[in-house]
Amino acid sequence: MKLSYFGFTDGINEVIAVTFGECVNTAPVGIIVEDAESREAVARLYPSHTKRNVERNGKLWANVVYDPIVWALSSFEDLDESWFETLDPPVIRNALAWCEFECAKIDEGNPAVFELKLVKGEVLRSYPKTVNRGFNALIEALVHATRYLATGDQKLLEKIEECGVLIRKCGGRMERKAFEIVLRRIR
Ligand SMILES: Cc1cc2nc3c(=O)[nH]c(=O)nc-3n(C[C@H](O)[C@H](O)[C@H](O)COP(=O)(O)O)c2cc1C
């Protein structure tokens, strides 16, 4: 079993991380991979529910998902259980794959650095997918929006609007709907 089997490539892999605390928690996280032919990865986590849950129980499930609404909602809140196909393992509806990682903190800084080891996973669906610049711009907008909410840096608002131009031009209905969620959150 290796990371590449589940769609991971060398570099930063954006996934929806599912962790467990008092309830199920969902948030986008970048899984950093040096060698996708291995089981090892790294995550850098700023203070969040995800970080707290991983510190408490050392587990994180990555979901490989392309649903724009799942990305937008998970960035600002937690998906409720109706969004899941199963909770054991935690699989978000229409996820292409899930992976379970064991996590160990290796650096207490901010962000804290965790070493991740792939222990289990499954490919549930697989289909060809073209690149959509609107979807990619949505992911960028979400990165800026979550940073904006954490820092209040006004310059990020301009970047979000630039992403909005691309989302409106290249995205589909779901990307545009997801961007509405972003705008509602930052206003
Ligand atoms: C595409 C994307 C990637 C992200 N990657 C990370 C990451 O690697 N580490 C991190 O701490 N936050 C990351 N974030 C921000 C968190 O998802 C965000 O702060 C979220 O609200 C945390 O939710 P939680 O408190 O439920 O864990 C990312 C956000 C997006 C949109």
Mean predicted confidence (pLDDT) in 147-170: 97
| pLDDT of res. 33 | 98
pLDDT of residue 122: 98
Q: Are both 26 and 98 inside the same structural domain?
A: yes
- Residue 158 CB partners (closer than 8 Å, separation 6+): none
Alpha helices in the chain (DSSP H): 49-57, 68-76, 133-151, 155-170, 173-186
Nearest CA to ligand 1 atom 7: 29
Specify whether 119 is located in the same domain as 144.
no
24 assigned to some structural domain? yes
Evaluate whether residue 72 is within a structural domain.
no
Whether residues 118 and 147 fall in one domain: no
Is 128 inside a domain boundary?
Answer: no
Q: How far is residue 137's CA from residue 160's CA, in Å, rounded to a whole number?
A: 9
Q: CATH number of the domain at 97, please.
A: 2.30.110.10
Give the residue, out of 24, 46, 52, with the most ligand 1 atoms within 8 A of its beta carbon, to mutate for a pocket test.
46
Mutate to test the pocket of ligand 1, among 15, 29, 105, 156 (most ligand atoms within 8 A of CB): 29
Q: Which atom of ligand 1 is nearest to the CA of 78?
A: 26
Kindly list the distances between the CA atom of residue 61 and the CA atoms of 33, 122, 148, in Å, as whole numbers in the listed order: 16, 11, 26
In a domain, 138, yes or no: yes
Same domain, 34 and 92: yes
Letter string b/e over residues 53-91, b meaning 16 or more CB atoms within 10 A of that residue's CB: bbeeeeebbbbbbebbebbbbbbbebbeeebbeeeebbb
Tokens standing for residue 46: 């700023």
> What average pLDDT does the segment 104-113 reach?
97
pLDDT tens track for 55-101: 999 999 999 999 999 999 999 999 999 999 999 999 999 999 999 99
Contact 30 CB / ligand 1 (< 6 Å): yes
Is the separation of the CB atoms in 137 and 118 below 8 Å? no
Largest CA distance in the chain: 44
- Residue 154: inside a domain: yes
pLDDT of residue 55: 97
46 & 10 share domain: yes
Q: Does residue 104 sit in the same domain as residue 158?
A: no
Look up tokens 């222990």; give the residue. 119
Residue 176: how many CB atoms within 10 A of its CB?
15
4 — phi, psi (to 5°)? -60, -30
Q: What's the whole-number average pLDDT of the chain?
A: 97
Looking at the fold, whether 38 and 101 belong to one and the same domain comes out as yes
Q: Are residues 141 and 111 in the same domain?
A: no
Residues 30 and 85 in one domain: yes
Q: Which of 176, 177, 180 is nearest to 167 (CA)?
A: 176
Evaluate whether 97 touches 6 at the Cβ level (below 8 Å).
yes
Q: Are residues 30 and 84 in the same domain?
A: yes
pLDDT in tens, 109-155: 999 999 999 999 999 999 999 999 999 999 999 999 999 999 999 99
**pLDDT reported for residue 96:** 98
From ligand 1's centre to the CA of 149, what distance in Å?
11
Verify that 141 and 112 share a domain, yes or no. no
* CATH number of the domain where residue 158 is located: 1.20.58.290
Which range marks the domain in which residue 151 is found? 133-186
Task: Using the atom order of ligand 1, give the atom closest to the CA of residue 46.
Answer: 11
Note the pLDDT tens digit of each residue in 33-43.
999 999 999 99
With a 6 Å cutoff on the Cβ, whether 111 touches ligand 1 is yes
> Per the structure, how many domains does the chain have?
2
The predicted structure's pLDDT at residue 100: 98
Whether 35 is covered by a domain: the verdict is yes
Q: Do 90 and 176 have their domain in common?
A: no
Q: Does the predicted model carry a pTM greater than 0.95? A: yes
